[in-house]
Structure 1
């Protein structure tokens, strides 16, 4: 079967008719393809079809046909087609595989799908890494040569783009051990494709420029998969998110402009990594000094919670309105979930509070903070005040600590009448058995009483404090008698 316009039309029409809801044209198309499959070079013709931009809607159907054809006609040979230097064939195979593996992104996670994924990983993951690394070497050679063959370089870049898309599909549901163990090999090249300029392609016209832009985009999706699915691997998660943060503040920040990417970042990276984990609760209860050091003194720079918020900060440098929209929607969803079942979903409210606090910007030359993600007074009244007024001192202490931290951070935004009405409630928390809670309460009172107005005068006077001074001093000295708080 020779490749020519007639073959293109024939195959395109056949694959189009296989999608027809009418029985007769579908049967005729299937019979025609079955007959054509016995002709020489049929598989190569189908691969060439993948490279045609005009047949995008037919690729899934053609990919399935190609897979079935290989099963029926291709006897195993020692030579792997992916090891060839003919990148028309290599890219044809990768395009077919990319289309087949896309199902791992769009289908629900089931045991059957996981078995399919395991089979694909066992059969193809090693070969994918090999072709990825080999092509990376070819690209380095091509870029380093004096006379760059643009058409050859295009085929190499397209190959890497396809490898990155396949990488994304195979890592979408979870991070397989094969990729985890070899992540450095991928990351080295990912970093290169996000920083190196390919001037020969960029100067070759719109097609070359588009291809240069598509490769970093494919890399980004791969990084998103790693950052989303490595939740049990602290170092890998932090590294991947830091990588994304660096990209968000580079010349490639436009990769984050798409709504679908921002949505996935919020849903699959930020929220899961900001949500409290069992180890956070254990640290809160068993080592409160270290918890406070990380949470309130800013030594949590390399924790997943902080680095996930830093990613949002990085993206917001260029897309603040979009970030505000996405984060606000996520926060509303979290608070709605909490309202539906406060006992089971208290961590959702804590997550919303942490997001607000972590994304607040400190004003230059002072301790005041600001944020344009939400209305401070409204959030304080609807989300924070109920926690401060809760009479159950030791119920959900991490949520209480988060509310006290919020009050402390946004103390300048809270009007004096509201703050004065809540001060007795804060004093009440000095009696909590949680070292973190009564420490945060003491810190909140201290910083609140030091607030100054715009003219530099103290907002709260001795007369204001005298109303609850006795209760305050009594509670403070009582807190000093609690276990491990003797020197607090």
Structure 2
């Protein structure tokens, strides 16, 4: 690696770090020593290659939680790498107690610092040795990310002196550069370390904070506003934010004159729009929006300056508000003739008005008590929202203001603001109409304390049709696949309108919406390039299916979806099967639509199951189609292939829950005589997995499966005795420990009403119908009755099924898109209720017990007297009265 050209060196270095991910350190305990032995005090190319690899290995520690294993690894590394590292950093006079490691560096101390000084007139060498110093500073962060190793603590004073030297270091060799140079990178890395030490090690580092605050402040005041310095400015401000987070250090900001200087010299210059921002606004509008809204501007000057200001505001709210308000008023005055100044004023106001985190779901939830966000909007911003003559960025500021403070406006205020907001969708400016779509979508997402949307279907009915048509027109302006799916924010707004409209969409051109969605599907399947766009797209289709079951969607969606499956558009396959499953579940017919029969063969083939992301949606689809295709499955002898899928899924750690989705559909559909040839094997597989340290969720699904079998006593020819017969055929007396250690305790932990309801039905039928419990498991009959009474203390009530509840999806910004499964919130199915006809379970229990008691000649009442303690008899009496 060291002798290879730089491009090859990078690839080999990456290979080493990948191997280290697996083997380091216990299976590759020589690596650290090998790296140390390769360090050179004269060749920065060799040294930088070694340090790059070392950093790529050590940086893995940063996000980890502390553990004994991690501590042992760090101790191993620092024990070998620590002293050479100190020497490379050029820290002079190591303590005598720290014996140097026997390598080529023991003679040559002061390596990096000395080489930087020696090569200050040689641009290439200076650049190389500054990169060396930068890598050393990153490794310093790695070493100290969890605790300060002794070798660092012993040299903390000279290390801080070195950091102090290079945070203020300058060189004329880089004056003409346009991009960030190794010098800016080094200073940025130093700021990272200063931030870590300030946040984490104030007891050791606190004495140096004031000096570094002055130095960093000096750096900020001298650098210009070129893009070259953006990351350094951001990192420097992040360090100052860390200083403001420590109460004893924050006191340096508790002064009106100091604050005025900070706002004037640092905050205002770094929040002002620059030419590069305006160029991005005009030339790369979608990138401008993403950076501004989604936090991809984490290292931007604006974001860092805002974070710093808000941190100081937390400590001194009144003083900061007073100081910054003076600047806001000044820029508002300038803004009457200069829209850039107006933008600065609005940005400053938003920065001090918002308290706490600005959430993706609700915007700002609490505001600065010394400002009035509604008054400020009405007096200074509303005109830009309404005026057709405003500068595009001024319009964006107005829309963003509403978006940011959306939770602070009441229903009446939003009712007057929503129409002008929608009107801005007609803007010819890309950023303006996209921001308008973003704000409309987030307002429609807002809910009250009861979970009801702020705007009901009736509220948005008057403009829903035009709104949707306009949004589709904006998306379809360019019908090439990459451009059509470029703007996910427009599709997200369409999705939200369809979700909020519910069944009202049928009066707003549902047929037209369906046509648009199908056309878009046919275009983007050729080249799926924006995961967020196509996720929202399929959520929109899901919302339409959910809310328009009478629209005749099966034949319309079949063609585009079948094309996706036949062309194996892997990104879309999981979405297609989720929507197909919901179409089946909502289909009132007890049969499979004609075209869907083709899919039975497809899902029984092994191919689709090879892709992990397909598994949950395929299992959901199978669970939906089995009840509809019961006769075909029996006639064509296809039950065994479905059970093979169950077996395959049960064997996987991450798919056993999907296995039970399939199994419950089978057991809930077929009678005992159909299941007879297979039931022993099913129980054997489940029992085997129960013996290998099962998870609580697995035991919960086993208990639910048992109760489903038990509850289907009677016409279905299943029941507790059916289960016992097959279990005992495997191993004599195996049912008793299974029932006592798995079923009874696990059922008591059921949380979902639908599971508790199933448990009630199962226990009741066991008490009334099971010969085994009546004659063989005498104590078990009493235990079962006691557990039934526990469940009936709070009789479970099962809510409405699919299509009736509000879709309260996880905020999509939190969803990770990749090879894994992404669920469609609009297609979520409520918990499976196998007995929807039983509504009030306590009344049903009473009726069933009384009828069974009569049917069995009073035996139930006799068992109650003989097998229950007085308290249990008294608790059960009302049900038998």
TM range (shorter): 0.5 to 0.7
Q: State how far apart, in whole Å, the 2-side matches of 1:424 and 1:185 are.
A: 49
**Native 8 Å contact 2:231 2:300 kept in 1:** no
| Residue in 2 that maps onto 1:445 | 440
**Native 8 Å contact 1:431 1:479 kept in 2:** no
Alignment partner of 2:425: what SS?
helix
| Residue in 2 that maps onto 1:390 | 387
Matched, 1:286 2:252: no
Alignment partner of 1:465: what SS?
helix
Q: State how far apart, in whole Å, the 2-side matches of 1:197 and 1:463 are.
A: 57
Matched, 1:315 2:312: yes
Give 5+ residue unaligned stretches, structure 2. Answer: 1-152, 156-160, 488-881
Aligned length: 316
Measured after TM superposition, the shift of residue 273 of structure 1 is 0.5
| Residue in 2 that maps onto 1:255 | 252
Structure 2 counterpart of 1:240, from 236, 243, 251: 236
| Residue in 2 that maps onto 1:467 | 462
**Native 8 Å contact 2:281 2:288 kept in 1:** yes
Alignment partner of 2:454: what SS?
coil
RCO higher in 1 or 2 (8 Å CA, sep ≥ 6)?
A: 1
**Native 8 Å contact 1:238 1:307 kept in 2:** yes
| Residue in 2 that maps onto 1:454 | 449
TM-score normalised over the length of structure 2: 0.32
**Native 8 Å contact 1:431 1:478 kept in 2:** no
Q: State how far apart, in whole Å, the 2-side matches of 1:402 and 1:217 are.
A: 37
Matched, 1:225 2:203: no
Change (3 A) 1:482 1:348: farther
| Residue in 2 that maps onto 1:381 | 378
Structure 2 counterpart of 1:404, from 399, 404, 416: 399
Alignment partner of 1:433: what SS?
coil
**Native 8 Å contact 2:446 2:454 kept in 1:** yes
Q: State how far apart, in whole Å, the 2-side matches of 1:479 and 1:313 are.
A: 37
Measured after TM superposition, the shift of residue 349 of structure 1 is 1.7
Measured after TM superposition, the shift of residue 198 of structure 1 is 10
Measured after TM superposition, the shift of residue 308 of structure 1 is 0.5
Alignment partner of 1:325: what SS?
helix
Matched, 1:476 2:474: no
Deviations 1:400-445 (A, max 9, x none): 1121111122122123233222322222211222221111111111
| Residue in 2 that maps onto 1:486 | 484
Matches within 5 A, 1:35-434: 191=194, 217=210, 219-230=212-223, 231-232=225-226, 233-250=229-246, 251-339=248-336, 341=337, 345-358=338-351, 360=354, 361-362=356-357, 367-369=362-364, 370-372=366-368, 374-392=371-389, 395-434=390-429
Change (3 A) 1:414 1:350: same
Aligned CA RMSD, in angstroms, stands at 4.4
Q: State how far apart, in whole Å, the 2-side matches of 1:325 and 1:408 are.
A: 25
Change (3 A) 1:472 1:221: same
Q: State how far apart, in whole Å, the 2-side matches of 1:144 and 1:453 are.
A: 57
Q: State how far apart, in whole Å, the 2-side matches of 1:443 and 1:186 are.
A: 34
Q: State how far apart, in whole Å, the 1-side matches of 2:175 and 2:258 are.
A: 22
Q: State how far apart, in whole Å, the 2-side matches of 1:476 and 1:198 are.
A: 57
Measured after TM superposition, the shift of residue 304 of structure 1 is 0.4
Q: State how far apart, in whole Å, the 2-side matches of 1:355 and 1:234 are.
A: 19
Q: State how far apart, in whole Å, the 2-side matches of 1:300 and 1:287 are.
A: 15
Q: State how far apart, in whole Å, the 2-side matches of 1:229 and 1:470 are.
A: 55
Measured after TM superposition, the shift of residue 378 of structure 1 is 0.7
**Native 8 Å contact 1:389 1:425 kept in 2:** yes
Change (3 A) 1:422 1:415: same
Q: State how far apart, in whole Å, the 1-side matches of 2:190 and 2:459 are.
A: 60
Deviations 1:306-344 (A, max 9, x none): 0011111222232222222222222222112212x1xxx
**Native 8 Å contact 1:427 1:471 kept in 2:** no
Q: State how far apart, in whole Å, the 2-side matches of 1:408 and 1:270 are.
A: 23
Measured after TM superposition, the shift of residue 470 of structure 1 is 4.1
Change (3 A) 1:419 1:256: same
Measured after TM superposition, the shift of residue 186 of structure 1 is 12
**Native 8 Å contact 1:377 1:414 kept in 2:** yes
Q: State how far apart, in whole Å, the 2-side matches of 1:242 and 1:450 are.
A: 33
Q: State how far apart, in whole Å, the 1-side matches of 2:448 and 2:303 are.
A: 31
**Native 8 Å contact 1:451 1:459 kept in 2:** yes
Give 5+ residue unaligned stretches, structure 1. Answer: 1-142, 146-156, 200-211
Change (3 A) 1:463 1:485: farther
Q: State how far apart, in whole Å, the 1-side matches of 2:324 and 2:447 are.
A: 31
Q: State how far apart, in whole Å, the 2-side matches of 1:454 and 1:378 are.
A: 25
Q: State how far apart, in whole Å, the 1-side matches of 2:292 and 2:240 are.
A: 23
Whichever of the two has the greater Rg, that structure is 2
Q: State how far apart, in whole Å, the 1-side matches of 2:298 and 2:456 are.
A: 37
Q: State how far apart, in whole Å, the 2-side matches of 1:284 and 1:234 are.
A: 18
Deviations 1:51-99 (A, max 9, x none): xxxxxxxxxxxxxxxxxxxxxxxxxxxxxxxxxxxxxxxxxxxxxxxxx
Measured after TM superposition, the shift of residue 480 of structure 1 is 2.5
**Native 8 Å contact 2:362 2:406 kept in 1:** no
Q: State how far apart, in whole Å, the 2-side matches of 1:260 and 1:181 are.
A: 35
Alignment partner of 1:467: what SS?
helix
TM-score normalised over the length of structure 1: 0.54
| Residue in 2 that maps onto 1:97 | none
Measured after TM superposition, the shift of residue 254 of structure 1 is 1.7
